[in-house]
Structure 1
């Protein structure tokens, strides 16, 4: 009861504070989200070979690159809910993809709600919240253009999670990869269509059209434009020219080190073992290298789409008065620690690209190596855009680090896994605390690949003690699952099965 009251107080207090705020000139916001993108981008040097991300690298050179940024959760829905609310899963109870935030927390203030209610024209397209039905209520936006998810419509059509996907016949040569893995979306290849017909190309087209026609819109207010790309999330379908950037013989494959898990507690090994059958099949069939090639191609495709949108912004009348913020919801393992997926608490799953380019703030091309979390995005935008503050957010504003990227930060970046396991990333260390009371500890100054667990070394206990004071003290219980509600995708309402209560989303 105390926990519920605390969340209620947070929601109500945030709403009250939003009623009044300074009437200052506010900058526009271009909010760019990328899906499943780990640190394999040029400016982060996560990939040992050459990765082609010229547009992300150019954006990093024009603003502040946070090189020690980490996701709040290692899977899509809870990470995105945390980013858009500024609250960790341990505050909201949104821990998995099987949770809807709106029917569980109907008064929750999200970034688009706060911007819309404080004088912004809020528009969006693509994957901002989790992409399945029910995660992105229209009530938040002046206008939102859904992604069609037609690239593999034969898989998604008829699935209640994709009620707006049109039917499409199943290709004779599906799966394009030639190998059946854990789900139909675990595929890769070149679709028999032009580049401009890909789903993500249409997402970019919407954002570009909006920026190119600003003068005709006569909004009389600043805009918040959210543009979310699905690549490099599976399936890794890309136009041929991006595959050609990565000759198979030049692909770097992670080392196969079975002993890397020997000093890891059992809960950590369980995380690594999820989807391990896929990795075994890739190795046995000789397709591991090819799969990595397609992930890299998907990264470069996403980069090109970001570049198109940024070019449109540069050519628009809003170019000198727009904050550009780019982030990825979490990373991805491609065989490191014997894992092929996300959902872990190691560097491959938590470290993500995060860039802020804000006119008049900081020096172009500066880098911040201090640990930051994506839950810091909301309070940062509030300060940059002179919006009314919201009390009790889990994140803090990064404006001080935009002004001085070398400024020390004691607060670690938390990543919370659905079982309640927590990673705490500091400037030099990663500490992982499992619900069993077991620990992992890595020193990134000497062990950037996180191969030697120092948790039982008496010389490092102070590091664990210092980090542990940041652990969530009273984590929320998991929110009611999707099975607790009946969702109407056309009216965008939820009906709570036990009580019959209706929650409206538009």
Structure 2
């Protein structure tokens, strides 16, 4: 739908809610139309009850879904923490931030960029961060600011809990190694002693203190990022006999490009029981995180903030739990590129519904700016999702683009994938090191690579034109 501009007397411009959606007009005064509560869970895939997972319990993600609109097909731009966060928090694609790993701060490459929270700070909002929003290493940098962006915030909180203090108790596939290695712990003690429990407590305090002013509060939960640490009661929710380990057919890895495979030697050595334990721990960490989300949502309701606050619940990228025989992230398959995304706007007509529109994480910046009555910066790469919030039946974008890098003979090689309504098409090194094509109408698990079938040559040629090219 199109939105008509309207004129109001200065100081009397209010948020308007109409029967057919969210009415938007000229730029609001500095106070803005709404608060923003931006919640991100680290390494969270769509293994959630709201996304129809048969086992995982996530009632509070469900609650956000009931308050807002659930995006069934939202995609990150780079399935690794720092590049993804640098992208959606600046509104720029990775090839513009030039952040491709977890060590580079985006301001080294784009020093004058105005980030999403900084944009709201410049509009007079109180901006605060609790936990991991910009990147820092988990668990090594828990309790620090890592690669934070100080000019984005009025206040920061770096929680540090029992999980950090008890690292010696954590089981790891590589003893003593955490972060990028599968590792887990069924912890003793209470939720509130864990880093995410402390983060929820601090977020609630900030909601209480700033409830009567415009705020942009970003809450970054650490779980379910490995090590999968959660109180033991959450592990008990997922008996090993109920865990299903995804399987692959013999010879499967021979059907896909070598650069598509990220399996580590310690992961390849896992037996079925150890795989089930890893999956159990990941599910437990999700439900523990969800419980902390619930505490924050309870505060939103208790403080009567639902009518004045946009709530975004999402993740930085997806995650593998042995789909395709792989673990964790940094692939260009659906499980790694797709993210949960829920947006709740006060007074929205379509609360509790879902959309299959194709959207990207880079769309969040212009969406939140527009919803709050501000003109988004002109240099952003994303597209506002406000039309979809008003009409979930809209198709969204023609395609979502995700990319990763690989190191080949000490040279960086890029992989790009395009996800359309029906297809996923991937090129490694502009196709020089392999291609993949998957038909989601007939193969939603992306297990049958059609790239070598001549009958799909025309489809691949059309999809290839949507991908960035590194070699002209």
* Structure 1 partner of 2:222: 230
Aligned pair count reads: 427
1:365 aligns with 2:359: no
Match of 2:449 in 1: 453
Is 1:188 paired with 2:187? no
State which of 242, 252, 255 in structure 1 corresponds to 2:244: 252
Q: Distance in 2 between matches of 1:362 and 1:28?
A: 19
Q: Is the 8 A contact 1:431 1:467 kept in 2?
A: yes
- Rounded Cα–Cα distance in structure 2 between residues aligned with 1:380 and 1:474: 30
**Which residue of 2 is the match for residue 126 of structure 1?**
131
On the 8 A contact 1:195/1:201 being kept in 2, the answer is yes
Match of 1:412 among 386, 389, 399: 399
Deviation, structure 1 residue 102: 2.0
Q: Is 1:282 aligned with 2:270?
A: yes
Alignment partner of 1:89 is 2:94: yes
- 1:433 is aligned, of 410, 427, 441, to 427
Matched, 1:23 2:29: yes
Q: Please, what TM-score do these two structures have when normalized by structure 1?
A: 0.80
Matches within 5 A, 1:42-61: 42-45=49-52, 47=53, 49-61=54-66
Secondary structure in 2 aligned to 1:427? coil
- Going from structure 1 to structure 2, the CA distance change for 1:410 and 1:212 (only over 3 Å counts) comes to closer
Q: Equivalents in 1 of 2:470, 2:418: separation in Å?
A: 17
1:56-115 deviation line (CA, Å, top 9, x unaligned): 112112211110111111110000111101111111101111211123321111101101
CA distance in 2, matches of 1:30, 1:71: 20
Q: Secondary structure at the match of 1:262?
A: helix
1:328 aligns with: 315
Seen in structure 2, the aligned counterparts of structure 1 residues 439 and 176 have a Cα distance that, compared at 3 Å, is closer
Q: Is the 8 A contact 2:246 2:325 kept in 1?
A: no
Give the match for residue 171 of structure 2.
Answer: 176
> SS of the residue aligned with 1:352?
strand
Which structure ranks higher in relative contact order (CA pairs < 8 Å, sequence separation ≥ 6)?
Answer: 1
Cα deviation for residue 408 of structure 1 reads 2.4
Q: Distance in 2 between matches of 1:182 and 1:197?
A: 22
What is the alpha-carbon distance in structure 1 between the residues aligned to residue 462 and residue 357 of structure 2?
Answer: 16
* Aligned counterparts of 2:241 and 2:206: Cα–Cα separation in 1: 41
8 Å CA contact 2:91, 2:362 repeated in 1: yes
SS of residue in 2 equivalent to 1:421: strand
Which has more strand, going by share of residues? 2
- Which residue in 2 is equivalent to 1:394? 381
Instruction: Show the counterpart of 1:145.
Output: 157
Answer yes or no: is the 8 Å Cα contact 1:64–1:362 preserved in 2. no
Deviation at 1:32, TM superposition (A): 0.4
Tell me if the contact between 1:345 and 1:417 (Cα under 8 Å) persists in the aligned partners.
yes
Confirm or deny that 1:40 pairs with 2:47: yes
TM-superposition CA deviations, 1:154-212 (whole Å, max 9, x none): 76xxxxxxxxxxxxxxx4xx3436x5369334321123332211000011111111223
1:455-494 residue CA offsets vs partner (Å, 9 max, x unmatched): 233333343333333323569xxxxxxxxxxxxxxxxxxx
| 8 A contact 1:112–1:140 mirrored in 2 | yes
> Unpaired runs of 5+ in structure 2?
1-25, 138-144, 406-412
Among candidates 284, 287, 302, match of residue 300 of structure 1: 287
Point out where structure 1 has 5 or more consecutive residues left out of the alignment. 1-19, 156-170, 476-506
Are the equivalent residues in 2 in contact too, given 1:332–1:341 (CA < 8 A)?
Answer: yes
Is the deviation greater in 443-452 or in 124-133? 124-133
Aligned to 1:264: 256
- Partners of 2:164 and 2:195 within 8 A in 1: no
C-alpha distance in 2 between matches for 1:184 and 1:405: 41
User: What secondary structure is seen at the aligned counterpart in 1 of 2:389?
Assistant: helix
Q: Give the CA RMSD over aligned residues.
A: 2.1
Is residue 257–residue 337 contact of structure 1 (8 Å, CA) maintained in 2? Answer: no
Q: CA deviation at 1:149?
A: 6.1
Contact 1:342 1:349 in 2 (8 A): yes
Alpha-carbon distance in structure 2 between the residues aligned to 1:410 and 1:467: 14
- Report the Cα distance in structure 2 between the residues aligned to 1:431 and 1:373, rounded to whole angstroms: 16
Q: 2:365 aligns with which of 368, 372, 378?
A: 378
Which residue of the other structure, out of 91, 100, 103, is the alignment partner of 1:98? 103
Structure 2 CA distance for partners of 1:315 and 1:263, relative to 1, 3 Å:
same
Task: Decide which moves more: 187-196 or 336-345.
Answer: 187-196
Residue 241 (structure 1) aligned to one of 233, 237, 242: 233
**SS of equivalent residue, structure 1 residue 238:** strand
Whether the 8 Å CA contact 2:415–2:429 is kept in 1: the answer is yes
TM-score, normalised via structure 2 length: 0.85
Pair 130,344 (structure 1): closer, same or farther in 2 beyond 3 Å: same
User: Displacement of 1:37 after TM fit?
Assistant: 0.8
Match of 2:10 in 1: none
Counterpart Cα distance in 1 of 2:349 and 2:78: 28
Contact 1:371 1:427 in 2 (8 A): yes
